[in-house]
Chains A and B, each alone.
Chain A
Amino acid sequence: MSEVAAVQHQVEPAESPLTPESWGKLGMWNFLAGDAMSFGGLIVGYGILRYSSANWPVPSEVLGINLTAIMTFLLIVSSVTMVMGLAGIQAGDMPRFKKFMGLTILGGAIFLGLQAYEWTHLINHTLPEYKLSFSSHLFATTFFVLTGFHGLHVTGGVIYNAVVLANVSRGRWGANHVEIAGLYWHFVDLVWILIFTFVYLL
């Protein structure tokens, strides 16, 4: 444990008494607050458009929630493997860290695959069936903008996590980097929890 703490300190110390946590962590929280405003604006905009529309379809009927419930489960699981990986490296257990970080990346990749399948199915079959194609109804517009913006975040997260795994494995980065990457990954999970509720269930 002390070795890991030493590495952590060497890589990124708390730079001043004003920021007991590392600047990286503080910076990530600031970024996430800004990012949350982007998502907040999109979700509020979606709500207003939906409430102001006379003929908004019932989302769960059009979209179906079975696949999305599995995707939600998948992201929650990948959040758990992320904290397990963090606990691993904080305990100086590299094999455990690598295993769980790998599983986290895998979970994110499967999520993206499922989302690609869902989008393809919606665009080619479901939406034309309900006459709700991208160009003809705000339902499709808001849906693709919101889930697409989130999907890009997942894509970024998978790449980010892979970079962290590679650099920590080479001994260049320490637990602090893993914790900061974790913050981003959990945020993406958190946003999906909200999107699942507001876009699919409500």
Chain B
Amino acid sequence: MTSTTHTHPNYMGIFWVLLVLTVVEVGITFLGLPKLLLGSLLVILAVWKAALVAMYFMHLKFERKTLAVIAIVPFVLCVFLILMLLPDIGPA
């Protein structure tokens, strides 16, 4: 709780990582990779970037676990939503 235990994460370091990941994301779309491979890579990169923003800019890494539990709930529900809708997905 005290201010002395609160040290700032390396914000600029995170910024450069986010920038590089964005460039990689845009770059690989021009490589003509197989659709499934490209899609998987893009999703992994996007989730990676989102996690970096949440962990460091939103300080989730340095907070109580309760906040992380709150934050993860919508993502779990989204996966659940996709699973429930699977039977209806696909060309009609």
Contacts and interface: CB of A to CB of B under 8 A. Distances in A.
Contacts of B37: none
B90 to A, nearest CB: 6
A190 B50 contact: yes
Given A30-B70, A80-B15, 6 more contacts: A1-B3, A14-B1, A33-B74, A37-B78, A52-B92, A80-B12
Query: How many interface residues does chain B have, given as a range?
Result: 35 or more
Interface in B12-64: 12, 14-15, 18-19, 22, 25-26, 29, 39, 42-43, 45-46, 49-50, 53-54, 57-59, 63-64
A41 interface: yes
B58 A87 contact: no
A65 B42 CA distance: 14
A189 B56 CA distance: 13
B79 to A, nearest CB: 9
A199 B11 CA distance: 28
Interface string A40-63: 110110011001111000001000
Contacts of B73: 33
Contacts of A26: 67
Interface of B: 1, 3, 6, 8, 11-12, 14-15, 18-19, 22, 25-26, 29, 39, 42-43, 45-46, 49-50, 53-54, 57-59, 63-64, 67, 70-71, 73-75, 77-78, 81-82, 85, 88-92
Contact of B15 (A4, A76, A201): A76
